[in-house]
Amino acid sequence: MNVTIVDYNSGNISSVINSFKEVAKDKVNIEVTSDLNKIKSSDKVVLPGQGSFKSCVDALNNISGLVDTLNEFAIDNKKPLLGICVGLQMFADVGYEEIETKGLGWISGKVSKIDNQNGKYKLPHIGWNELNIVKDSKIFKGIENNSHMYFVHSYELIPNDKNVVSAITDYSSNIVCSIEKENIFGTQFHPEKSDKAGLKIIDNFINL
């Protein structure tokens, strides 16, 4: 089986690569590439994202054919795809970080700045926070509710359809921290930085 981590120059993804390789051992081939043919032929795809919504969308668009290839993979062929952090946020129709930027449009909704209640809550939201699992998700198999995950973000995904939400975390309000819609999965937290529970989520995705 081939799992491809999309490398589209979106910042440092070495911890994502290392944690997937650690979990996969020798059972699964982990490829890190922006080669469209390799992405198309892979069994599963991971879309990481660091930095701003706009910078990540721009980086995707800078690689000719990449967005079309991801659409074909996830939307047309319905193969499993996992978005991490800004990787998840880009599923939305639109993001409002820096300037209004069009997203991939896979999850109807928007990405807006977390309401920090006039400075009551620090932004970015950095550190460990509790996961409140609100629906059964294949990637949460064996994960206890109220497990702690590691976050670094100032913006949140607000989906129009709350049925796609698989977990929330309480920070100023109920922030969406994971989604599952058919073959599309996303986490706002960083599973690769979330200790054993995070590695279990990666393992669950690899074993889908």
Supply the residues annotated as catalytic: 85, 190, 192
Determine the Cα–Cα distance for residues 140 and 44; give it in Å rounded to an integer: 17
For residue 86, give the nearest of 69, 105, 62, 111 by alpha carbon: 111
Is residue 110 within 8 Å of 95, Cβ to Cβ? yes
Phi, psi angles (nearest 5°) of residue 72: -60, -45
Determine the Cα–Cα distance for residues 121 and 39; give it in Å rounded to an integer: 39
Pair type for strands 2-6 and 29-33: parallel
Determine the Cα–Cα distance for residues 187 and 55; give it in Å rounded to an integer: 19
DSSP symbol at 42: -
AA letter at 180: E
For residue 164, give the nearest of 177, 149, 150 by alpha carbon: 177
DSSP symbol at 184: E
